[in-house]
């Protein structure tokens, strides 16, 4: 058994009487894409927030790179090497592509920074941002306004923003959402390469992408992991078919 880079242990989160995650044990090992699927309201986004530190668990713990990070705050977890992309965009549409990437390298969201010239004159930050744009294929768009990008390009920019911090592991909440066939194909190809560098916990509704990419799939229903396995195992799992695939 390969040592997991990321692991949750009996992670629980209650919102009042609602148990959004219920004793979730999930792991991410080097080199893998581990997809997390489940119906709306299953607790997928909550789990990502608990791992990233934007929500605190009711009980249980999160372990990353050999350390218990449950009590670390969000920026500390990002600095430790946890990268994420969001279900809802965190990009500042009125800033350029490069400006958003530079803000990412700084660990800030464009939404909270109004004056950019001090950071844009930091050569090291700009170089880091340009390299990330290069990797996702957006270098030629560095001067464009983010609001003018296509939806697919914005999704790639979000990945570039996360890449600027050189994460050891990625959490991605629906990176294919709203992408057409071509955009999904480009994102799929990119994630396929990215896993070698940093394993990915992938939340995704696009089942074609999930079955194509995932080394392992976990199925979350009402806050509980009801199955974990390979694509073939998950497809053949009777409980999963009943609870989720609607068969």
The residues of the shown chain that bind Mg ion, judged by CB under 5 A, are 44-45
Q: Which is nearer to ligand ADP, 118 or 246 (CB)?
A: 246
CA distances from 21 to 6, 12, 36 (A): 17, 5, 13
**CB 56 → ligand ADP: shortest distance, Å?**
12
Which tokens belong to 152? Answer: 């697919």
Backbone angles phi, psi at 135, to 5 degrees: -65, -35
Cβ(36)–Cβ(216) under 8 Å?
no
Which tokens belong to 85? Answer: 């992309």
Q: Which is nearer to Mg ion, 44 or 154 (CB)?
A: 44
Using CB under 6 A as the criterion, what x/- string covers residues 126-165 for binding ligand ADP?
----------------------------------------
Give CA–CA dist 136/157, Å, rounded.
7
Q: Which is nearer to ligand ADP, 92 or 217 (CB)?
A: 217
**DSSP letters of 119-132?**
HHT-HHHHHHHHHH
Contacts with ligand ADP in 17-76 (CB under 6 A)? 18, 20, 38, 40-46
Q: Which does 46 bind (CB under 5 to 8 A by kind): Mg ion, ligand ADP, none?
A: ligand ADP
**CB 72 → ligand ADP: shortest distance, Å?**
20
**CB 207 → ligand ADP: shortest distance, Å?**
15
Q: Which is nearer to ligand ADP, 45 or 237 (CB)?
A: 45
Residues touching ligand ADP, count (CB under 6 A): 11
Cβ(193)–Cβ(106) under 8 Å?
no
Distance of CA 44 to the CA centre of its chain: 11
Residue written as token pair 């581990």 = 34
Residues that bind ligand ADP (CB under 6 A): 15, 18, 20, 38, 40-46
């Amino acid at each position: 058994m390969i040592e997991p880079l990321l692991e949750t242990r009996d992670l629980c989160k209650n919102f009042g009487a609602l148990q959004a995650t219920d004793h979730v044990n999930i792991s991410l090992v080097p080199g893998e894409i581990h997809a997390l699927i489940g119906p709306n309201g299953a607790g997928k986004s909550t789990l990502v927030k608990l791992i990233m530190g934007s929500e605190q668990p009711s009980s249980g713990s999160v372990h990353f790179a050999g350390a218990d990070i449950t009590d670390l705050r969000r920026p500390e977890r990002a600095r430790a090497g946890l990268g994420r992309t969001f279900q809802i965009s965190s990009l500042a549409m009125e800033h350029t592509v490069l400006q958003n990437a530079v803000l990412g390298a700084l660990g800030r969201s464009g939404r909270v920074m109004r004056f950019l010239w001090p950071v844009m004159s930091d050569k090291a930050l700009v170089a880091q941002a340009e390299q990330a744009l290069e990797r996702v294929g957006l270098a030629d768009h560095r001067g464009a306004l983010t609001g003018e990008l296509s939806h697919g390009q914005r999704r790639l920019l979000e990945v570039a923003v996360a890449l600027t911090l050189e994460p050891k592991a990625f959490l991605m909440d629906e990176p294919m959402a709203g992408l057409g066939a071509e955009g999904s194909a480009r994102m799929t190809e990119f994630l396929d390469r990215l896993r070698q560098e940093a394993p990915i916990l992938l939340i995704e509704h696009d089942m074609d992408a999930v079955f194509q990419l995932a080394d392992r799939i976990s199925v979350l229903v009402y806050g509980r992991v009801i199955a974990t396995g390979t694509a073939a195992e998950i497809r053949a799992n009777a409980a999963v078919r009943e609870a989720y695939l609607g068969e």
